[in-house]
Amino acid sequence: MDYVELGRTGIRVSRCCLGTMTWGSQNSEAEAHEQMDYALAQGVTFWDTAEMYASPPNPETQGSTERHIGTWLKKTGKRQEIVLASKVAGRGAAFGGLSWMRPDGGPTRQTKAQIDYAVEQSLKRLQTDYLDLYQLHWPDRPVRVFGGQTFKDYEQDFEAFGDILEALDAHVKKGTIRAIGVSNEFPWGVMRFLAEAETKGLPRIASIQNAYHLANRTFEYGLAEIAMREQVGLLAYSPLAQGQLTGKYLDGKLPAGSRKALYNRMQRYEGPGAEPAIRGYVDLAAHFGVDPAQLALKFCDTRQFVTATIIGATSMDQLKTDIAAFDLTWTEEMEKAVNALHALQPNPCP
């Protein structure tokens, strides 16, 4: 396993990041513990979670993922071996308000009071006294997120960038947060956070956690240059397009126990042109004699602007396949082939 610096923080993270959002919905606590044991044994020391998980969001499972991680940390005593990341929810309108996540029953926002509450609750569930990376799960601004096809009203109010950073800075000074990052963010938002940090002496974001995969390379159009020049690398989530790039859903297949079968929330990956593009990458993997999941993961791992690629698995076989992908040799022939397919059908699953 390779390790790199997270932004300019001095924190070293594994290039493979362990995603956790199925723990508490599709995976039991025991299964989550088994995944953590295996991942750490393979050198995967960077783990990502969120206050909203398990996914999909609902009041019955909210916080269960962090609780499963917390019981593992208490049982093993291995907190110091892990770089642990979590997230605070953004503007609740993206999910109908998420009022059940806050004690006052109001919609989630990134105010100081809500950030303070979210950090405190995450630390309790995780049974730790600090987070290595704390991220804004999506913007407080009303913007297109999670594959939505339209932008929202730019005239609506939102929490000022400086106010959000000041709220996070209080936790950095307390030692409850080591570094901060953003997620599902856009170029303007990233640059505003960087500018506010520089002019006001506030914490500098270290990472951008956005969707990025063979069928969604929109990060390359504006954010990739920022990631490189400003040393704010991508934490690529959904590198398999929630399993679509494995080919398991092609031709109308609906595997029992899959996310699509359970939740029918795959529309982000099923728009016009999606299936032929996905089929192209699955066929390409067969041409090179590699697992399609491993081709997709190694593609992300070989991008210069990527700090880490976030994997997610519901079975141990899937987890083993995913982690093994980081040992795959990426060739110039593979690079040319995926770029040729991208040119034919660019970004069908943004």
What type of residue sits at position 72? Answer: W
What type of residue sits at position 228? Answer: M
Distance CA 213, CA 134 (A): 23
Distance CA 193, CA 317 (A): 40
Given the residues 3, 38, 53, 154, the one annotated as active site = 53
End-to-end CA distance of the chain: 29
Distance CA 118, CA 217 (A): 31
Contact of 167 with 118, CB cutoff 8 Å? no
Contact of 274 with 215, CB cutoff 8 Å? yes
Contact of 243 with 311, CB cutoff 8 Å? no
Question: Is 53 a residue of the active site?
Answer: yes
| DSSP letter assigned to residue 107 | P
Tokens 């799960």 belong to which residue? 137
Distance CA 308, CA 135 (A): 15
Ramachandran region, residue 184 (left: φ > 0; alpha: ψ -120 to 50; beta: rest): left
Sequence-ordered strand ranges (E) for the chain: 3-5, 12-14, 16-19, 46-48, 83-88, 131-136, 177-183, 205-211, 233-237, 306-311
Total length of the chain: 350
Contact of 296 with 214, CB cutoff 8 Å? yes
Tokens 């990041």 belong to which residue? 17
Q: List 3's β-bridge partners, or say none.
A: 14
Q: Which residues participate in catalysis according to the annotation?
A: 53
